[in-house]
Chains A and B, each alone.
Chain A
């Protein structure tokens, strides 16, 4: 099973895959806590057009990806301030670029293999120089994230307070989207643009269910990402099935039971607390949320 590691392309896939798992694990945590999963999905789809265009022009797909996703990240943060507004802007940009991507593909008369690997990733096409590019970009991402980590986290949880504290909240948001764009671009080689999402969302979403502090969630998210990627590569190398199938299946297969079991745990705790409330309540059985009939006297009387 592990004999495949003697092949250089598997070694390359392994190294690139590990870097991808680490960066997506870190960025994905912020993506999920900021409620930007749709933006992450859109950026990877937008990257498809960039990569297809690059293939058509005969330049590196990674370069095409970088240009298109970073450009889109900037456009999205300029167009949409509010989340709802932003999602509409994202949707419009995404569908347009998907259209462009399919045009580029139909104009391209080379190997269908190349288009296929942009969409779904491959472990055979990763060269040693791809690994170096991935390593360079990953290192850059980590340095930036180390510089902005705490304010980014703060502004994710409480943008209003962060702004009052003097943080450039909008600029941080734009910078974050650019970081996601770069992550998507390097992840494309291993898992493909359509399935980058599996690594960006699967591991952090699972980790968030299991641990309660940001550092642990990021750590666990990286560990899960690495596990999925390594297992996926080993399984793909030993079979004819594509690597992205294994990675997405692992991400889904782990998330599902964790979600169910972790939800159960939360419910149990909530029940216990409610029971405690009932016992200790001083003549009040009210729940947290005021019901319709707990009228606020100053407010309600004129209706009567």
Chain B
């Protein structure tokens, strides 16, 4: 699929970490406002792909362009939510402080509170429907609430690209749906491009435009119907993989996803 003005374009990308090839010959381009889900088993290179886009890892071959430039650290137009464990219960940090890091956490100095920042933080909290949690200590909030705050933190710098690394991990189904619905709302309202890493396509089926499936150093990109098939996955894994579709959900048999 050719895009005229891609937000992300990778050409024949190869990434090695400690001499081991993690990504091989990855070429893809992603347009403005697309909702892309990145799938694949642990160690397939999903997080590496995200870090490539952030400029945290460099390709050993190929070219990568993000928002019209070579990726480098500190790009404010990218909102990023790293993969994480749940936050410490004893963290002396309010929701408001956490979201505020997205605004000025990287600036030198102490960071005195200002009315302008407070308004921006309130707006961001409102966007993820968490204004009522503003002064709650983050460590005592549920996983879903924490995830919403982290999304607010990523949105506060008005990014054009949102990178979410496993935002659904450790959430039950109800909270997964809540987070996915929020991400989709943000995408529609802001027109941002979303790349979301997940282990499970099912909660994302009705929202995703295309998926990137990574396994065994191979990568496939396309719509769910194109990629989540027995043929494509068998090719990626290099072994027989069966995909079944039942009751509106995909099931993969014969491979770790």
Contacts and interface: CB of A to CB of B under 8 A. Distances in A.
Interface stretch (A50-58, A94-102, A153-161): A153-161
Interface stretch (B9-17, B27-35, B84-92, B183-191): B84-92
A212 B94 contact: yes
B199 A298 contact: yes
A297 B140 CA distance: 30
A192 B140 CA distance: 37
Contacts of A153: 101, 105, 111
Contacts of A211: 92
A257 interface: no
Contacts of A294: 172-173
A214 to B, nearest CB: 6
A146 interface: yes
Contacts of A33: 91-92
B130 interface: no
A297 B198 CA distance: 13
B93 interface: yes
B74 A158 contact: no
Interface string A161-187: 111111100000000000000000000
B82 A149 contact: no
Interface residues of A, number: 47
B144 A288 contact: yes
Nearest to A212: B137
A172 to B, nearest CB: 11
Contacts of A165: 73-74, 105-106
A163 B82 CA distance: 11
A65 interface: no
A301 B172 contact: no
B172 A162 contact: no
A288 B173 CA distance: 9
Interface in B194-250: 199-202, 249-250
B90 A288 contact: no
Nearest to B172: A286
Given A158-B101, A288-B172, A298 B111 contact: no
A109 interface: no
Contacts of A286: 172-174
A297 B104 contact: no
A84 interface: no
B251 A297 contact: yes
A193 to B, nearest CB: 27
A157 B98 contact: yes
A151 B103 CA distance: 12
A72 B10 CA distance: 44
B104 A150 contact: yes
Contacts of A160: 82-84
Contacts of B111: 149-150, 153
Contacts of B44: none
B180 interface: no
B48 to A, nearest CB: 13
A103 interface: no
A150 B90 contact: no
Contacts of B107: 150-151
Interface string A254-292: 000000000000100110010000000110101111100
Contact of B92 (A158, A161, A214, A298): A214
26 contacts: A147-B109, A150-B111, A151-B107, A153-B111, A161-B105, A161-B153, A162-B105, A163-B56, A164-B74, A164-B82, A166-B72, A208-B92, A212-B94, A214-B93, A216-B92, A217-B92, A284-B172, A284-B174, A288-B143, A288-B144, A288-B171, A294-B172, A296-B199, A297-B250, A298-B252, A302-B256
Interface of B: 54-56, 72-74, 78, 80-84, 89-94, 97-98, 101, 104-111, 135-137, 140, 142-144, 153, 170-175, 199-202, 249-257
